[in-house]
Amino acid sequence: MTIEHCTIDDFNQIIKDIIDFWGSDRLLHLHHPYLVYEFGNTAFVIRDNGVVIAYLFGFFSQTDSVGYVHLIGVREQYQKQGLGKLLYDKFIQISRSKGIRKIKAITSPTNNKSINFHQKTIGMTLLGSPNQNGTNVVHGYSALSPETVVFEKLI
């Protein structure tokens, strides 16, 4: 499967089908067209017969040598086929070409699916210290939650 840059038509398809990627629309508010318009060089999709089946929206920090993955989504019926890993590999390749040597991402402490993917498939470590459930979290990282899982990987 080919990884290509995300177009605004791809973005609109993702928004329309958000539940197919996430099982709900709980993360719809994190999807903004600027991820394509302003950060299109790090917005990627994988399509199957013109249908977006996986995507990654990332960008580079303006204050540190860090590549940040803002969102990665795979349609539920295409999960566990390595598409998320392919997208991360592409983002890491582009990051390295820009001299970036570290990537980061975040999730909530209750999102075990994301935690397992980032740790086991991508090889990222969790920053912070263990919470009451034993998951490493960073306190105060986000104003929206007292605890945030912050992933990091040297590339």
Residues 138 and 127 in one domain: yes
Residues 34 and 74 in one domain: yes
Selection from 55, 66, 63, 69 nearest residue 98 by Cα: 66
Query: pLDDT over 90 for what percent of the chain?
Result: 97
Average pLDDT of the chain to the nearest whole number: 96
Residues 85 and 126 in one domain: no
pLDDT on residue 144? 79
Residues 8 and 61 in one domain: yes
**Total structural domains in the chain?**
2
Query: pLDDT over 70 for what percent of the chain?
Result: 100
Q: In which band, very low, low, confident or very high, does the pLDDT at 37 lie, cut at 50, 70 and 90? A: very high
Q: Which domain holds residue 65?
A: 1-100
pLDDT per residue over 41-84, tens digit each? 999 999 999 999 999 999 999 999 999 999 999 999 999 999 99
Residues 2 and 77 in one domain: yes
Contacts 24+ apart (CB under 8 A), 20-26: 20/75, 20/76, 20/77, 21/55, 21/73, 21/74, 21/75, 21/76, 22/73, 23/76
pLDDT at 145 over 90: no
